[in-house]
Structure 1
Amino acid sequence: MSTPSAPTPLRVALLGCGVVGSSVARMIIDGADDLAARVGAPLDLVGIAVRRPGRERFGLDPQLFTTDAAELVTRADIVIEVIGGIEPARSLILSAMEHGASVVTANKALLAEDGPALYEAADEHGVDIYFEAAVAGAIPILRPIRESLAGDEVTKVLGIVNGTTNYVLDKMDSTGMGFSEAVEEAQSLGYAEADPTADVEGFDAAAKAAILASLAFHSRVGSAHVYREGITEVTAADIAAAAAMDHVVKLLAICERSHDDSGAEGLSVRVHPAMIPRTHPLASVREAYNAVFVEADAAGELMFYGKGAGGDPTASAVLGDVVAVARHRVGGGRGPGESAYAEIPVLPVGAARTRYHIALDVDDRPGVLAQVATAFAAHDVSIEAVRQRLVTADDGATRASLIVVTHTATDAALRATVEALAGLDTVRAVTSVMRVEGS
């Protein structure tokens, strides 16, 4: 009786060996037996492409390292890309696919900029491209949207998808830290890069929002379609104003079906700081954690929560994708490709429907409230609540601090209202404007 031949090992190439890459490499090596059992064939790590091969990397065989990434991708069945950025990542991924390799990537910037081209290349060469780790680290969010909710209609995705900004805003809320102090603490703990611009200006979250919107609404959405505001202008006064309303400030990625003034359907995809009620599930997301809140017609409300960054958490998502594509190599078949059949256009941010919290420094004299109310009415914006507080200026004059919270209106109408308020002779300054979401 013949003995079944052992399954042929799958050759795995790793591009990048930073915090995430080194965790991926160690998990492949240390978990070799379990991974082989789950896949149905051994995973053989055949090389790790790095820029500095002589650098000591504890626990990894120096013989694995190479500076020739272009050659490495031509001799692999699965290529894992964790170097980030646009180039050379894009060229290496396309080359890997041309040579028949499936690809697992954590590269949110590349996917948001050039995802359709990668999907087309995967289709052309009959390989997979998986990218769970590109959004929200260890949290399984892309595959549930891409596969588990494929039979449902997603109406909204609302999430905290950047751990750095969530840490900063949480510390400003819970300890009274200023923005700069909170950023410095995040950097000291490894939650923020030495140059935190991509995080605090919202670029990172915008790339993730583009990916989420593309999958949720079966339409092509790139980073250029995403309206973006960062958190650098969020002040202690904004945090205090939110607290007075029993709200917190979060940097939110918001992707939802909407309609323009003519009634035509479109997508609203935006990233900006907003006040949300403390009763909302996202308000309890603390420190550097991420969470994504999904609303679908049949499934209702779903929330995904967990660590959004870090070597091991992100490596966990990468390895989950590796197992999935490896199973396809062993058993045949492929994972889902691009689903962009809906072709729903992305609307300008002015068409988004939201609420505003507006703080005004006004004169303390009769008729002020009437002028303010008239400005709102002129732009068809309804006022939900008004709160006034008298303050004494340094010169001894009495002025008023006026807080106005609106009902839902288009962002364009709300912005026009703010411009009109700034032009009133009774309004000394519009001191703060922030959107209100989640209620």
Structure 2
Amino acid sequence: MTSIAIPAGMPQYDDVPRFDVVRVRADFPILSREINGHPLVYLDSANTSHKPRQVLDVLDEHYARHNANVSRSVHTLGTEATEAYEGARAKVAAFINAPSPDEVVFTKNSTEAINIVAYAFSNASLRPDGDPRFRLGPGDEVVISEMEHHSNIVPWQLLCERTGATLRWFPVTDQGRLDESGLDDLVTERTKIVSLVHVSNILGTVNATSRITARVREVGALLLLDCSQSVPHLPMDVVDLDADYIVFTGHKMLGPTGIGVLWGRGELLAAMPPVFGGGSMIETVTMARSTFAAPPARFEAGTPPIAEAVALGAAVDYLNGVGMRAIQWHEKELTAYALDAFATVPDLRIFGPAVPVGRGGTISFALGDVHPHDVGQVLDSLGVQVRVGHHCAKPVCSRFGVPAMTRASFYLYTTTEEIDALVGGLEQVRKVFD
């Protein structure tokens, strides 16, 4: 069993669940690849995760034996496909402890999920009978943060342009954490929705949201959390989290691309107007008007990503089999190991929290004056795959005065040997650009 050398000062607990990393890695065919004559070292899981055989097999099995459209047919294949699709919804709901599977809306990704909420606000604002919780106009405010992925910035900018509302945001501290010092002045009775990242995709920061949630409840606003980087890595309980909506995406949690999730409180989803019109989301249609199905169907117009949803259910099964607490602890130890290892690299600057407390297994950094693209190319020549660029978080790069960053991100299949390979690769980068 591959073990992790726990850095000095990190607590060790006998009751922490463990798993065999070597055995887990054997489930991922791509990890046996070589890149440029070197073993693949994949440190880009915050971008997209790899898929175990158990997920790939389910995807293949669905297309090979059960392929049909859902909720439209009484024949055997249609029934099998519908049962598998709705079964996946139930698995996802249980995975995040949603009170009902009907609160789980399948989307194509987190970005679409956020846009559904934003456009529901827009559509409600156009209707005189729209629910007042979703109606926006001049004088109303939407609050986000400087830490957001573009998918949690641009939809709200567009919403404010459409409605005349004002966009405001939490700043980020030098340590890469949300600056909540102005919370009461930022979240006020004018605030209609606060939309924040739960775990930053660029800084690795885990945002403790309890103070913000309490203030949101105090002023009567709604709260959306972008959980794209938390649901794959942490045990998730939407009841305990006390948000009104969360969004996440399948391809970052061992599932396929093209499938994501919007979870919302049932009564809020029922009050939201539809965003996409078409088949499957209707109750009745005449040439004069239409009425709409109850959620989640109301928000799933047209043929949905059926096989992708079924494979996402298989990914949930796999993650449950390993154990989310075990994955969380594995990544915490990896992060502590990596932070210690990075401290040995001259001229390396880490962006975000410098300690493993309140941060996830995503570490962005700069290596002296070497451009991140050059860092990435040298590392790739050694088989080490990292992400370089602005990571769809340009405001964060601007906040720290850099055009781009290099990012290494870990998951359940990452080992300390791979972190050692990254550190060795950075030494090679320094030699090339010395």
TM-score (norm 1): 0.23
Quick one: higher RCO (CA 8 Å, sep 6+), 1 or 2?
Answer: 2
Q: TM-score, normalised by structure 2?
A: 0.24
Could you say which structure has the higher strand fraction?
Answer: 1
Larger radius of gyration: 1
